[in-house]
Chains A and B, each alone.
Chain A
């Protein structure tokens, strides 16, 4: 029995692609988890969804000209948030409406580029003598960590490393910005810079997670770990640690499940996270459903012992 379990866990390590996938998965899990704490506290989940979708045209254009996909993705991710900020400052519309309009427009442009790839490739070949490599659109949209290339690993490591370093170095300022931007401004911090730093980190982490989980589901990596941790603690240090643990565990479970079930890796990781969230939602010590029902009952019992208010 124990031997069987050992076999089950060790078998994938015979394959180089599984080792790579697990290593990349863990890195991405850590990076996204750390950022997710700030994103959930700031209430920027939709913004995360927006930035991750908006990178699509950048990725396609990067392939078309033979540039690293990360550069194209980062550029378009950043362009989308700048556009959202620019429009927000000039209309009385609520931010979520503008975010919805801008990111779907970017994604739409991306889909058009994808559908026109063959003819665009011919065009670059005819005019610049450069024939772009075949682009697997599914791997961009849905991730393909089991088939990740060494070049893509390098990009993931660079983007993930920069994201992690910036967040950890400036975590106090970023946390203050999430908690009380007015105070941050009052003591002379550059809140505009912090705002766009956090948004740029969203774009960078999307680049890091793109190959693992895909554009469509990146937002889960940027929200769920933070939400799981938030249910479990009210101390930020612990929240970071719990989010990273939850995220890494989900990534490992997801990659194993994907290997054995021969199912979509991104789908498996996201589902593992969601199940973990469900578990925490029910059993979390103070904020979980059971704990809350328990404390309500106790409160009622305590007040009922005195005089019970008549309820019609």
Chain B
């Protein structure tokens, strides 16, 4: 792979919290213009890898490069957008949808963050793109689960960042909204955005992800879905306990039966429940 086509390069990083190693010697390369899924059990280190890429955590060893630059440089240039998990947001906070989306523009404004015409235009465009124009003056707590996700997606769009990291974008939303978000992510990918998502949803990721990285205390494997998302690798990521797989003969990809069943019930995929130690 050509260097200039690499959006994110994780170069053998190790991260520890108070002496407990959360991620050891992890390596990952995400090509530009791809959708990459990070999968693994709860506590496997997905969030840690996410935070290291975003620069929220400093690795004890190794380095992260964003389009060939350090994370700090990428932050200053606003290259990275982040959509938090629903649990990380205070939904009772007194801000409206457009306030939140405008926050995506702060990096372009002066020190007092006075919005200019271009900032307001970008906010309007982003809200339109995610289909949230009608809700722009709503307080964020008044939104449904799917609307909340779309509001934060609009913020990422308003930020004009070519690399987006989405933490659990499909948790707590219905199938219809999930479909709408997947469609939008595909469009963004075709526009040249690089998108990394953390997901529990092993069953659906095959339908829209180009790349996958399997995580269990390190990155076990990463690469194109066809060669990487194999039963062997999945079993390694889930500690060998994940053996109820349905095989899609055509693509050679594994789709976990329990995940499918869980999706049908509208609950968290089975991978979650299997994630004991």
The one of B18, B90, B94, B99 in contact with A239, judged by C-beta atoms closer than 8 angstroms, is: B94
A297 to chain B: which residues have CB within 8 Å?
Answer: none
A186 touches B95 (CB 8 A): no
How long is the Cα–Cα vector from A67 to B107 in the complex, in angstroms? 42
B81 to chain A: which residues have CB within 8 Å?
Answer: 186
How long is the Cα–Cα vector from A238 to B96 in the complex, in angstroms? 12
A-B contact pairs, 7 of them (CB 8 A): A176-B103, A179-B95, A182-B88, A185-B75, A188-B78, A189-B106, A230-B94
The winner among A92, A183, A233 for most chain B CB atoms within 10 A is A183
| In the assembled complex, B117 has its CB within 8 A of some CB on chain A | no
Residues of B at the A interface (CB closer than 8 Å) are 18, 54-56, 75-78, 80-82, 84, 88-90, 92-96, 99, 103-104, 106-107, 112-113, 139, 141, 155, 159
A235 touches B139 (CB 8 A): yes
| In the assembled complex, A308 has its CB within 8 A of some CB on chain B | no
| In the assembled complex, A173 has its CB within 8 A of some CB on chain B | yes
Q: Which 3 A-B pairs have the closest CB atoms?
A: A172-B113, A187-B107, A234-B139
Other contacts beyond A179-B93, A179-B95, A188-B77: 9, CB < 8 A: A172-B113, A173-B113, A175-B95, A179-B90, A180-B89, A182-B88, A186-B75, A186-B82, A235-B139
A234 touches B106 (CB 8 A): no
B112 touches A183 (CB 8 A): no
B94 to chain A: which residues have CB within 8 Å?
Answer: 41, 230, 233-236, 238-239
| In the assembled complex, A169 has its CB within 8 A of some CB on chain B | yes
How long is the Cα–Cα vector from A176 to B113 in the complex, in angstroms? 11
- With A173-B113, A188-B78 known as contacts, the answer to whether A236 contacts B95 (CB < 8 A) is yes
A185 to chain B: which residues have CB within 8 Å?
Answer: 54-56, 75
Within 8 A of B (CB), among A41-79: 41
B269 to chain A, nearest CB (A): 25
- Chain A: interface secondary structure? helix
B89 touches A186 (CB 8 A): no
Within 8 A of B (CB), among A162-204: 169-170, 172-173, 175-176, 178-180, 182-189
A234 touches B75 (CB 8 A): no
How long is the Cα–Cα vector from A186 to B158 in the complex, in angstroms? 14
A227 to chain B, nearest CB (A): 13
How long is the Cα–Cα vector from A234 to B95 in the complex, in angstroms? 7
B80's nearest neighbour on chain A, judged by CB, is A186
How long is the Cα–Cα vector from A186 to B80 in the complex, in angstroms? 6
A188 touches B18 (CB 8 A): no
B56 touches A182 (CB 8 A): yes
Interface size class of A (residues with CB under 8 A): 20 to 34
B159 to chain A: which residues have CB within 8 Å?
Answer: 187
A239 to chain B: which residues have CB within 8 Å?
Answer: 94
How long is the Cα–Cα vector from A175 to B113 in the complex, in angstroms? 11
A187 to chain B, nearest CB (A): 4
How long is the Cα–Cα vector from A239 to B92 in the complex, in angstroms? 13
A187 touches B106 (CB 8 A): yes
B113 to chain A: which residues have CB within 8 Å?
Answer: 172-173
The winner among B55, B88, B106, B141 for most chain A CB atoms within 10 A is B106
How long is the Cα–Cα vector from A173 to B81 in the complex, in angstroms? 17
- With A186-B81, A186-B82, A189-B106 known as contacts, the answer to whether A169 contacts B76 (CB < 8 A) is no
How long is the Cα–Cα vector from A57 to B18 in the complex, in angstroms? 34
B54 touches A182 (CB 8 A): yes
A43's nearest neighbour on chain B, judged by CB, is B90
B104 to chain A: which residues have CB within 8 Å?
Answer: 183, 187
A187 to chain B: which residues have CB within 8 Å?
Answer: 75, 78, 104, 106-107, 159
Interface flags for A87-131 (1: CB within 8 Å of B; 0: not) read: 000001000000000000000000000000000000000000000
How long is the Cα–Cα vector from A180 to B99 in the complex, in angstroms? 12
B99 to chain A: which residues have CB within 8 Å?
Answer: 236
A238's nearest neighbour on chain B, judged by CB, is B94
B82 touches A182 (CB 8 A): yes
How long is the Cα–Cα vector from A307 to B81 in the complex, in angstroms? 47
- With A92-B18, A180-B84, A183-B103 known as contacts, the answer to whether A188 contacts B155 (CB < 8 A) is no
A183 touches B155 (CB 8 A): yes
A183 to chain B: which residues have CB within 8 Å?
Answer: 82, 84, 103-104, 155
How long is the Cα–Cα vector from A189 to B75 in the complex, in angstroms? 8
A41 to chain B, nearest CB (A): 6
A236's nearest neighbour on chain B, judged by CB, is B94
How long is the Cα–Cα vector from A183 to B107 in the complex, in angstroms? 11
How long is the Cα–Cα vector from A181 to B90 in the complex, in angstroms? 12
Within 8 A of B (CB), among A117-155: none
B137's nearest neighbour on chain A, judged by CB, is A235
How long is the Cα–Cα vector from A187 to B105 in the complex, in angstroms? 9
B75 touches A41 (CB 8 A): no
A291 to chain B, nearest CB (A): 15
A160 to chain B, nearest CB (A): 21
B78 to chain A: which residues have CB within 8 Å?
Answer: 187-188
- With A172-B112, A172-B113, A234-B92 known as contacts, the answer to whether A186 contacts B106 (CB < 8 A) is no
B233 to chain A, nearest CB (A): 30
How long is the Cα–Cα vector from A279 to B90 in the complex, in angstroms? 25
A176 to chain B: which residues have CB within 8 Å?
Answer: 103, 106
A170's nearest neighbour on chain B, judged by CB, is B112
B102's nearest neighbour on chain A, judged by CB, is A172
How long is the Cα–Cα vector from A236 to B104 in the complex, in angstroms? 18
How long is the Cα–Cα vector from A211 to B79 in the complex, in angstroms? 48
